[in-house]
Chain A
């Protein structure tokens, strides 16, 4: 995997297979809740072990038969770094990015940090409608600057340009200057966009609508009234604009698209069986009216019309839709010498440097081929998103709406609920009697069959002390069988109390806290079974002893355990990354939490009334290192 060794991943239970029925029943019996569908949803996601088995270290063997295999293809989709996970307080489940739904709280421009109302997002084409632009040449942000003020005579006047501080591109490169330093998007649109002109030029002649109001072709999409008006006016519009016969009026792709759209909308409304039906013009082909019209169209054009032509004629024959015929309707016939002109231009000026690159063209209108046709790009908007649990629809993350604020109203990250696992190799200060491990084992080249001690630290972020049970298969799954032993599989982690509490209780508190540790403080520590390695205010460290297996095909393979790995070879097929030593560890944690309202009656009998025993269990994967091929 991509992370450097050692790493830890936590598995989101959502990828697992559903739990068989008994578990679900037991679960629902334990904590009957109002929302039973959620409960079944939650119980479907495996790993809620039964409280009767909490003392059982290998609780997972009862709950589900197979251990988690970090090498299986499925686990690619369930392993996450712990800091990327969320936690749903209602489902009591870890939630990964696949068990949540996102919804957009607000749109904002990352450049000016102004929020765009959701109604404006579409009409603005998901881009900032104000003064924020990116350089079309190098994508750096553009600055609005005046070109008259160079002598520094105070008054900010004169033409304004957008200029790139990085590549020195300015709008003067494309021969554009602005009259005002504000609302540049509109000014630019007026200058460059002939959009929606053909459809509306009759009306602009009538003076009913100012040209500047028309922002983009999308604006006609959004309002139904506009669409209907366009459809109605379209008839006159055609004839009126036919008189102009502007050869190159519609050289812009956007405007051609708008013209075609309004033309076909007109056609549909004209040829529709029931022209007064608003469905015909509003919903286009997807509406039942349009479908009827199409069906009758086919019927009339088939041979039936020849046979029963008289009958058809007597009914009102559905008029046939025609195609766009002239430029004002959006038709564009490719000029003959277009290619030649392009080639000539390539040869005469600039050459390679004058041609826009693919990256530049991908952001521009499809007709742009040369650098001096590039238009400044309004900055793309960004969103703030709230995240909900997919099963119970509770909000897990909700940022503040204001773009300037980086705070969150709700943020249930998993690390507030599960202990943060960290892994590091154990380095013994002096050559102790027991440990043959080198002072600092190279994790990228672990030698096979040589025991390595790694320290697993679990840090609790909850305000309640937690009891942890770790379980791991004694032999890692996969081709390379490494033996793993958790020296102290069961331990407690202190609460994440106030740091000052500990300090005020006296400096000796952490040392005398655990009688087992006080003995170890004096001389050098050795990994010992059944004892925690170290312990702090809200963290506990235990030792894992790992004996890396031998890679199949290596020299060590021919030694004593050759047959063993031979068996593994038959079992697993994948050979990629087989030298990566990953240990699946099942973590089961239980703690007493303050009961929420709905759960007060369900508390365990042995507990006080306001406390409820909680538990959570999940798999995590410890990436220890890579196993060397040879001894």
Chain B
């Protein structure tokens, strides 16, 4: 980290984006090493916690109306991504493909007084990437090293395992469960098991061909995990570079 940034406390986001009569500003508890763009939006009544080295891009939105939001270490929340759900009025306007009348009904009457009976904690573990314009609805739990690409929607109470990739535009249904090391791709809910964790022996065709050619059977390929390791390493670098890019812009109030 180049500069130790003071936690972007109330004075920044409240002064820049909201007036005192505007929506309630969520109490923000950010790690000093995190990088938060000043146009990021934090609304709601529950606390929002940002972990170390996490980067919040400009115009990312956090709506903590239905429960607290925890973002772990080393995450990247891209532009216009939405964590949580806006209060029901705007939510019904912008999105809500998920028919969840019960949850939306909770916060409908008064936004400032959420029902304490059932708070939906939104949790992002470490090294999670949320792509541009992706939506993570309240109650979702995204485990570590997961990549949620652009325009995805993670519906309420979904549980996305670690090392998962949700390809762009895909959705995880409400209370859906995606096991770890899965790639969700295609349109809608198509799934594909990712098998790269262990070393894998060559396929049958390869064995047969080498037998026929009387060549030595090729040894097992290296562990597929190296691909994931490489990806995480790249993610680390990207994050460091991003932190350098966003900090000056935020300091100069240019971006």
Contacts and interface: CB of A to CB of B under 8 A. Distances in A.
Q: Do A and B come from one complex?
A: yes
Interface of A: 137-138, 147, 150-151, 159, 161, 163, 166-177, 190-194, 197-198, 201, 211, 246, 248-252, 255, 350, 353-354, 371-373, 375
Contacts of A354: 193
Interface in B19-66: none
Nearest to A172: B224
Contacts of A166: 167, 185
Contact of A252 (B193, B196, B208): B208
5 contacts: A159-B222, A167-B185, A167-B192, A190-B213, A373-B204
Nearest to B205: A192
Interface residues of B, number: 35
Interface in B210-246: 210-213, 218, 220-224, 226-227, 229-230, 233
Given A174-B200, A246-B212, A167 B167 contact: yes
Contacts of B222: 147, 159, 172, 177
B208 A248 contact: yes
Contact of A176 (B203, B211, B233): B203
Nearest to B229: A150
A175 B220 contact: yes
B1 interface: no
A166 B169 CA distance: 12
Given A172-B200, A175-B220, A163 B227 contact: yes
A197 B192 contact: no
A43 to B, nearest CB: 53
A255 B212 contact: yes
A176 B202 CA distance: 6
3 residue pairs, one from A and one from B, having the closest CB atoms: A175-B202, A194-B212, A150-B230
Given A168-B165, A192-B205, A246-B211, A173 B230 contact: no
Query: Could you say which of A171, A174, A375 has the most chain B C-beta atoms within 10 Å of its C-beta?
Result: A174
Contacts of B154: none
A372 B195 contact: yes
B183 interface: yes
Contacts of A194: 208-209, 211-213
Contacts of A169: 183, 192, 194
A159 B218 CA distance: 12
B193 A350 contact: yes
A138 B191 CA distance: 11
Given A137-B192, A372-B195, A172 B221 contact: yes
B209 A192 contact: yes
A177 to B, nearest CB: 5
Contact of B221 (A138, A177, A373): A177
Nearest to A374: B203
Contacts of A353: 191-193
A158 to B, nearest CB: 9
Nearest to A352: B191
Contacts, number: 121
B206 interface: yes
B201 interface: yes
A345 B213 CA distance: 28
Nearest to B201: A175
Contacts of A249: 208, 211-212
Given A170-B224, A175-B202, A353-B192, A147 B212 contact: no
B186 interface: yes
A174 B233 contact: no
B47 to A, nearest CB: 34
Given A170-B227, A173-B195, A194-B208, 15 more contacts: A138-B186, A147-B230, A150-B233, A169-B194, A172-B196, A173-B196, A174-B202, A175-B203, A190-B209, A191-B202, A192-B206, A192-B209, A201-B212, A255-B212, A372-B195
Contacts of B165: 167-168
Contact of A191 (B201, B206, B227): B206
Contacts of A201: 212
Contact of A211 (B191, B213, B229): B213
A169 B224 CA distance: 10
B183 A167 contact: yes
B237 to A, nearest CB: 9
B221 A176 contact: yes
Interface string B168-210: 0000000000000001011000011111100011111110111
Contact of A373 (B205, B218, B227): B205
A255 B209 CA distance: 10
A173 B206 contact: no
Contact of A175 (B183, B208, B221): B221
A251 B229 CA distance: 36
Contacts of B185: 137-138, 166-167
Given A150-B230, A168-B165, A172-B227, A252 B209 contact: yes
A193 B226 contact: no
A530 B223 CA distance: 82
Contacts of B196: 168, 170, 172-173
Contacts of B230: 147, 150
A194 B203 CA distance: 13
A372 B203 contact: yes
Nearest to B208: A251
A168 B184 CA distance: 10
Contacts of B195: 173, 371-372
A255 B192 CA distance: 30
Query: Could you say which of B192, B203, B226 has the most chain A C-beta atoms within 10 Å of its C-beta?
Result: B203
A172 B203 CA distance: 10
B29 to A, nearest CB: 34
A173 B202 contact: no
Contacts of A147: 222, 226-227, 230
A167 B192 CA distance: 8
B191 A175 contact: no
B209 A193 contact: yes
